[in-house]
Structure 1
């Protein structure tokens, strides 16, 4: 007795999600690479189908071919990822993404210092006003 093998239809959004997670790429990073929002990437990953242009942009950003996403399987993914990662150029899969040259903590400290200076100047002015020493303009 033969059992019928039921083939599931391709769910491109799910394939994109699985490929992205296999590559270790966050939705926010992919969104930045594509010039969109993380919410839009989440929406795309929930859709069963997508237009060819979108699929090609996502594939390019991930450093894989559109066919690799369409034909995604857990077994084939590791081979494709390893092969494409070794030969990729300038995308998030190869680790080449924007790196900022400033330290955000230093920027916060600079802002704090500027606010503190302004507060001290304001206090000095208020003290002079209270003592009757109104500054001349």
Structure 2
């Protein structure tokens, strides 16, 4: 096994990011207005022109720096943090009250407001009737 570091193979990085974005070569080619074969040759290239890299990054929805600095280890670690913190998300999303109790409280409050409104209307009608009788 060699101890040499892997070269910075931009094409492989583009390929992996494309795969992680669940995008086919054809879709990326269409977004760039080029052929699928050109995408294949880009992904097999160790280097790429800066202008083309900018276009590819835009089509993939990432920055040029994200492509240049991409590594499998970082991607795996990034996605693993979601699994590790699942318990924290569940902790923050648990209710400290019964939602049905809150709903019933709102229903009761609405009922009281409706009864008050109805009483106010009845009082207004009685007042108007008294005014009509006086005239």
Give the TM bin, normalised by the shorter chain. Answer: 0.5 to 0.7
Deviation at 1:80, TM superposition (A): 7.7
Residue of structure 2 aligned with 1:23, choices 21, 24, 39:
21
The 1:22/1:61 distance shift into structure 2, 3 A limit, reads same
Deviation at 1:74, TM superposition (A): 1.9
Higher helix share: 2
C-alpha separation in 1, matches of 2:76 and 2:51: 25
Task: Report the counterpart of residue 55 of structure 1 in structure 2.
Answer: 53
What SS does structure 2 have at the residue aligned with 1:7?
Answer: coil
- State the TM-score, normalizing by the size of structure 2: 0.52
Please list every run of 5 or more consecutive structure 1 residues that lacks an aligned counterpart in the other structure.
82-137
Tell me the C-alpha RMSD between the 2 structures.
Answer: 2.1
| 1:45 paired to 2:54 | no
**Equivalenced residues, count:** 78
Please list every run of 5 or more consecutive structure 2 residues that lacks an aligned counterpart in the other structure.
80-135
Deviation at 1:7, TM superposition (A): 1.7
The 1:23/1:80 distance shift into structure 2, 3 A limit, reads farther
Matches within 5 A, 1:39-118: 39-77=37-75
- State the TM-score, normalizing by the size of structure 1: 0.52
Deviation at 1:78, TM superposition (A): 6.1
Cα deviation, 1:11-69, whole Å, max 9, x if unaligned, reads 01111101100111100000000000111100110110011011110000000011111
